[in-house]
Structure 1
Amino acid sequence: MFTSLTSRVAALGIIVVLSLLVLAALLFDASLKTRASFDNVAHSAAVIETTNLALMELREAESGQRGFVLTRSPLFAQTFEQRVKDSREAINRVVALTADNELQKSRAQGLRTLIDQRIASLRETMELARRGSFDAARDAIAGGRGRELMTSVSIHAQGFLEQEHALQAQRTGMAEQRLARVQWLALIGTPLISILVLLVSLMIIRGIRRPVGIMQDAMTSLGAGDRDARIVNAMGSEEFSRLASGYNVMVDQLKAAVSDRSRSEEELQIANAELLRNSAALRERGEVIELLGGMAHRMQSARTDEELAQVIHVFVPRVLPGISGVLYAHNNSRNLLVRIADWGTLASSHDDFAPDQCWALRRGQSHFVTAPGTEIVCGHVPDKQSIYHCEPLLAGGEVIGTLYLQGVIAPEYRFPLTVMAENIASALFNHHLQRGLREQTIRDPLTGLFNRRYMEETLALEIARAARSGEPLSLVMCDVDHFKRFNDDFGHEAGDIVLQAVATEMRNHFRDGDVVCRFGGEEFTIIAPQTSSETLLERVEHVRDAITRINLRQAGRTLGSTSMSFGIASWNNHMDREGSALIQAADAALYRAKREGRNRALIERMAAGALEG
């Protein structure tokens, strides 16, 4: 009945297949149940993870709100709405995920209500801060209601997560039990199937030993280098006859393939060389990115133009080797591109220029000349035959500066140039912001003069410098005569006009090295380093005379004229280093000038630390 190799193998194969089907069905059913258990475990993990995400985003939103209220920096407010949105989306997903468990769903809904209440509280405080009511916003934070809401959120979330962890542990135990049943089923079914397979194997071995031996001999000969080894013996079965025929075809094809091997090896070598080139390029790009990262970090840490120029001078030649250049920064007050750094061997003839002289700034993109006569030359380039590259520096929609590079930028340097330009633009933009914030903290908003805080800091520094060098240091205390009359007769706006006019005259007549400050009210202070009282008196007299000639007007009406009284004193070693004694001496001279009729300048002499008229 089973005389052929195929029929015997087929009969035994059917038995093996049926056995495998039965085992597979049992394993499949067990695996489905196990999978369902692990899905439940994963479901609990998703609930826990999403709940933690909602709490994390809520805390991030709270941190952004407090950062904005405390520092007034808009950077903290930018991500607030996104954090709130992410927190709500996450807690909504938690509610949806717990739909299969009414108790957990109820707890999730309660947690969502608390989170919504906390978000509403955060929004109220943010709105106060955005409207400029930072004191009210800080009072709202200090009130403690936000902390109480956040504590309620944390307690409710803890209970919810503890229950979900318990569910997860329970589901994990069920999954492990079902997995153990699958393992026992596999341990019992596998030996039975193995016995059946062994029987089939014995039958096949008995039927294929001779033809396999013939094929082994032929393949051994082929492996020894006999490309003409063929199978010509009778194989005893149709199956092995087909194998022998296939073998002979394979040998013929192998013989043909050997002739193509040399060509394939050559193509492989070419591909390998290309791979090595690409690898080297990637390595070089990685080194450049690391270098640019270090440069960007140092530029962001620079506090002065000199420090920024030093970073540019050190790093740019390493990013763009062999290329000389100049970095220009935009000066808003003068509307000029001002040279702040250079490197390489570039000629010093490159001066400051107006923005419209650079085609890169006009077009908002790179502008370069690769050969004379091939492109329009920028107006700020002194040599019209120059080969150069201008890269605009833009940030926040504003012109920050430009990079002038002498020569042609090779294609491999385009990527580091683009990244470097973005980093420099960002650093310059931040530098300008920091400088603006510094000016706001040291300037009086009404007069534009330095404020009292800056005056006290500067006076202490100048006294320390005078003590070391022995050079003179003088101080002027002055105020507007009969200032109350302007406020009483014309209103406080008229008083502001008087203060602004007086401040303008003092700025115009005192030298650049003098520090002119508004001390408070109608009082002003001038710190004059390296100047004696007698020398300073001449300068003060010019200022006093100029103030008396001011014609004060407001909204078409004449306010009249004004005058100022001045007291001058010089620092000596008998005075303190903080400046209080020097201020008192100058103030005493001012009061003496007031008593003697106003509109005059007097010097207060100091002897042995005592005031002397």
Structure 2
Amino acid sequence: MFSSLTARIAAFGMLVMIALVALIWMLVDASTQTRDSFRWVTHSADVIETMDDALAALREAESGQRGFVLTRNASFADPADARIVAAHDAMARLTRLTADNPTQNMRARELSSLIERRIGLLRGTLAQARRGDFDQARASIAAGGGRDLMTMVSLRADSFLAEERALRVTRIDAADRRLTWVRQLALVGGPLFALLICAMSLLLIWGIRRPAGHIRRAMTALGQGDRSARVTGMMGSQEFAQLADGYNAMADHLQAALADQGRSEQELKAAHGALLRNSDTLRERGEVIELLGGMAHRMQAARTDDELAQVIGVFVPRVLPGIAGGLYAHNNSRNLLVPVAGWGGYVPQADGFAPDQCWALRRGQAHFVAEHGGDIVCSHVDPDAIYHCEPLLAGGEVIGTLYLEGVVEDEHRFRLTVMAENISSALVNHRLQRGLREQTIRDPLTGLFNRRYMEEALAIEIARSRRSGIPLSVVMCDVDHFKRFNDEFGHDAGDTVLQSVAAEMRSRFRDGDIVCRYGGEEFTIIAPGTTAQALSARVELLRKGITEIVLRQGGRALGSTSMSFGIATWDDAMARDGSTLLQAADAALYRAKRSGRNRIILDTPEADDDAIDLIPAPAPAQASVR
């Protein structure tokens, strides 16, 4: 049917592609339907959980109401109010969740109406009790109206939940059926697709090997001296027929060329010389590629800017011998090219230069001055300089430039091009690695180191302290009455407080100190080379600074805050993983809380009962010391 081998291969490829696309489409369609089914199962679970939350909140509100009315203890009233709000919010969310199901949505609205009536009774009783009319409040409870409403709520809720659970079971069954279909499709479609490929491949192989055998036998005979050997027989395809014709024509020309052997030998010698020259060029390029490969591997493995600069400073003079220069890369804001490395005696400009000062960066291609007056001189170069600027590109974007003193000869252009590509790739990879590492060790809210990094750093600092004998101290601290900000102003206000405190902590400690967010409103500071007594002076400045912070969120004033601190110094009796040291600092923090907050306690024998307390604070009014 197809006289052309190319047409056969194209037809085979088209058939395989159609089969593959069909299989992929069926798998994607089945997986999409399965995903939708599981999404609806999750939706039903969310509806059931929200209904349970609403009922639980309403019952807890009833308990708080009765506790307040019966005991006259006002501490029961606030939780009851909170649970009433939670029940109201849960029912509002339930109404939204069931908007896709008219029947369930109607039931949800009926339940919401009953619960709102019950909430109205609860709030009325609580209001009577708060006015001191406890007898009337107890009479309202004894009247039984709330109990009847709760009975109706429970009955309606049971009906609602039963319907939703049945719906969830139906959806789970649908998801299981679709998963079974996906599995069957993969088990049957995959082998069928493989059989199709094997069958078509065998046909193509047979169509290639038969004519290739005819050609091979003719070539073998010619190689053994039979200059009359020609390709005969059916080729089976246009391409092999053309190849056979070409071979036969070549044999004819070869037979004719033997008559002029002398001229052919000269031509062969000339071709041999060209091959030798090309071989030398290829060998030189191979050596350069091997050298650049070693350079690329080391640049990819570099973890710091200094290591990257060392690799570049060692390998670039070997790739471009006798040419001094430097590497500049964009800073984070991309408004300046900053020096990365220099070699061959060239000292890069410490302050860098603006991108528009380099013509290579403006044009997006190499810019060089091979002789005085030969071209425009870049503003960042001496006016009399002979130089070459090579832009570094990655993904079509300019990320830096190579500055080379002198002229880059034509035979070195290949080296320069490949080296620029390797350095560009290494710079992009280095920035990505640095960004990823920052994301894994930083707390996203405060910008401080996270707990995981703190634990690793503490173990390293303890090992260093054991070897060198230098002291190591740890500060555990947290924000006093932090819950008040969340309760009064919301969690966004709490985040504002944590960010303000974190900024103050960063400004008060040295570069060698490690400031971390331990969790919630609690922070940890690792201070190498200092004792608890010496560290307390700096911590006292921090404590004062925090009390002076004026906390604002948008245009809203949040007031002021304070922090309590516990300081401990490591000794050889403590665990090497830092757990004992953290426990000692936390115990000191606990004593600071118990002592009235807004103070510093040192974990030392002589300071067990003495706190650095420059701001008097009242005795704690609650059982919790946080």
What's the TM-score, normalizing by structure 1? 0.60
- 8 Å contact 1:38–1:172 — kept in the other structure? no
Q: If you compute each CA radius of gyration, which structure gives the higher value, 1 or 2? A: 1
Matches within 5 A, 1:136-535: 149=182, 152-158=185-191, 276-332=276-332, 335-347=335-347, 351-381=351-381, 383-535=382-534
Deviations 1:516-546 (A, max 9, x none): 1111111111111112212211111111111
Cα distance change, pair 512–161 in 1 and its aligned pair in 2 (3 A)? closer
Cα distance change, pair 120–537 in 1 and its aligned pair in 2 (3 A)? same
Tell me the distance in 1 between the aligned counterparts of 2:394 and 2:343. 23
Seq. identity, % = 63
Aligned-partner residue type, residue 155 of structure 1: V
Tell me the distance in 2 between the aligned counterparts of 1:583 and 1:161. 61
Deviations 1:69-93 (A, max 9, x none): xxxxxxxxxxxxxxxxxxxx65454
Tell me the distance in 1 between the aligned counterparts of 2:204 and 2:335. 70
Cα distance change, pair 275–532 in 1 and its aligned pair in 2 (3 A)? same
Tell me the distance in 2 between the aligned counterparts of 1:271 and 1:168. 40
Tell me the distance in 2 between the aligned counterparts of 1:496 and 1:288. 55
Cα distance change, pair 93–117 in 1 and its aligned pair in 2 (3 A)? closer
Cα distance change, pair 391–611 in 1 and its aligned pair in 2 (3 A)? farther
Cα distance change, pair 506–401 in 1 and its aligned pair in 2 (3 A)? same
Aligned-partner residue type, residue 451 of structure 2: R
Deviations 1:213-236 (A, max 9, x none): xxxxxxxxxxxxxxxxxxxxxxxx
Cα distance change, pair 124–566 in 1 and its aligned pair in 2 (3 A)? farther
Cα distance change, pair 452–162 in 1 and its aligned pair in 2 (3 A)? closer
Which shifted more, 387-396 or 499-508?
Answer: 387-396
- 8 Å contact 1:585–1:611 — kept in the other structure? no
Cα distance change, pair 388–350 in 1 and its aligned pair in 2 (3 A)? farther
Cα distance change, pair 148–464 in 1 and its aligned pair in 2 (3 A)? farther
- 8 Å contact 2:565–2:599 — kept in the other structure? yes
Aligned-partner residue type, residue 294 of structure 2: G
Q: Residue 120 in 1 paired to residue 29 in 2?
A: yes
Secondary structure in structure 2 of the residue aligned to 1:329: strand
Secondary structure in structure 1 of the residue aligned to 2:603: strand
Tell me the distance in 1 between the aligned counterparts of 2:466 and 2:319. 46
Shift of 1:443: 0.7
Tell me the distance in 2 between the aligned counterparts of 1:509 and 1:351. 28
Tell me the distance in 2 between the aligned counterparts of 1:170 and 1:318. 53
Tell me the distance in 1 between the aligned counterparts of 2:205 and 2:393. 57
Cα distance change, pair 37–420 in 1 and its aligned pair in 2 (3 A)? closer
Shift of 1:276: 4.3
Cα distance change, pair 587–397 in 1 and its aligned pair in 2 (3 A)? farther
Deviations 1:17-64 (A, max 9, x none): xxxxxxxxxxxxxxxxxxx89999x97x999x75xxxxxxxxxxxxxx
Partner of 1:545: 544
- 8 Å contact 1:466–1:473 — kept in the other structure? yes
Partner of 1:199: none
Q: Residue 577 in 1 paired to residue 576 in 2?
A: yes
Aligned-partner residue type, residue 407 of structure 2: V
Secondary structure in structure 2 of the residue aligned to 1:438: helix
Tell me the distance in 1 between the aligned counterparts of 2:404 and 2:21. 58
Aligned-partner residue type, residue 516 of structure 1: V
Q: Which runs of 5+ in 2 are unaligned?
A: 43-174, 212-258, 611-626
Cα distance change, pair 158–406 in 1 and its aligned pair in 2 (3 A)? same
Cα distance change, pair 151–491 in 1 and its aligned pair in 2 (3 A)? same
Shift of 1:300: 2.3
Tell me the distance in 2 between the aligned counterparts of 1:315 and 1:171. 49
Cα distance change, pair 364–611 in 1 and its aligned pair in 2 (3 A)? farther
Matches within 5 A, 1:75-114: 91-93=16-18, 114=23
Tell me the distance in 1 between the aligned counterparts of 2:520 and 2:319. 54
Tell me the distance in 2 between the aligned counterparts of 1:440 and 1:560. 32
Tell me the distance in 1 between the aligned counterparts of 2:481 and 2:204. 87
Tell me the distance in 1 between the aligned counterparts of 2:357 and 2:546. 42
- 8 Å contact 2:16–2:197 — kept in the other structure? no
- 8 Å contact 1:115–1:153 — kept in the other structure? no
Secondary structure in structure 1 of the residue aligned to 2:596: coil
Tell me the distance in 2 between the aligned counterparts of 1:125 and 1:293. 47
- 8 Å contact 1:114–1:149 — kept in the other structure? no
Shift of 1:269: 7.5
Partner of 1:3: none
Secondary structure in structure 1 of the residue aligned to 2:326: strand
Tell me the distance in 2 between the aligned counterparts of 1:311 and 1:322. 17
Cα distance change, pair 437–593 in 1 and its aligned pair in 2 (3 A)? same
Cα distance change, pair 585–143 in 1 and its aligned pair in 2 (3 A)? farther
- 8 Å contact 2:338–2:350 — kept in the other structure? no
Tell me the distance in 1 between the aligned counterparts of 2:322 and 2:34. 55
Cα distance change, pair 154–416 in 1 and its aligned pair in 2 (3 A)? farther
> For this pair of structures, how many residues does the alignment match?
426
Aligned-partner residue type, residue 490 of structure 2: G
Aligned-partner residue type, residue 317 of structure 1: P
Tell me the distance in 1 between the aligned counterparts of 2:479 and 2:274. 81
- 8 Å contact 2:34–2:178 — kept in the other structure? no
- 8 Å contact 1:328–1:401 — kept in the other structure? yes
- 8 Å contact 1:390–1:405 — kept in the other structure? yes
Q: Residue 601 in 1 paired to residue 600 in 2?
A: yes
Tell me the distance in 1 between the aligned counterparts of 2:315 and 2:180. 48
Deviations 1:274-322 (A, max 9, x none): 5544443333233323332333233223333233223322322222111
- 8 Å contact 2:31–2:182 — kept in the other structure? no
Secondary structure in structure 2 of the residue aligned to 1:467: helix
Partner of 1:59: none
Shift of 1:122: 5.8
Shift of 1:445: 0.7
Shift of 1:380: 3.3
Shift of 1:143: 9.0
Cα distance change, pair 538–525 in 1 and its aligned pair in 2 (3 A)? same
Cα distance change, pair 341–348 in 1 and its aligned pair in 2 (3 A)? closer
Which shifted more, 525-534 or 399-408?
Answer: 399-408
- 8 Å contact 2:505–2:542 — kept in the other structure? yes
Cα distance change, pair 462–165 in 1 and its aligned pair in 2 (3 A)? closer
Shift of 1:335: 4.5
Aligned-partner residue type, residue 152 of structure 1: L
Cα distance change, pair 524–297 in 1 and its aligned pair in 2 (3 A)? same
Partner of 1:30: none
Deviations 1:432-452 (A, max 9, x none): 111111111111111111111
Partner of 2:83: none
Tell me the distance in 2 between the aligned counterparts of 1:360 and 1:272. 41
Tell me the distance in 2 between the aligned counterparts of 1:545 and 1:366. 57
- 8 Å contact 2:364–2:391 — kept in the other structure? yes
Shift of 1:164: 8.7
Matches within 5 A, 1:42-61: none
Secondary structure in structure 1 of the residue aligned to 2:383: coil
Aligned-partner residue type, residue 401 of structure 2: T
Q: Which runs of 5+ in 1 are unaligned?
A: 1-35, 51-88, 95-110, 134-141, 180-253
Deviations 1:307-353 (A, max 9, x none): 32233223222221111121223220585433232222224665533
Which shifted more, 580-589 or 279-288?
Answer: 279-288
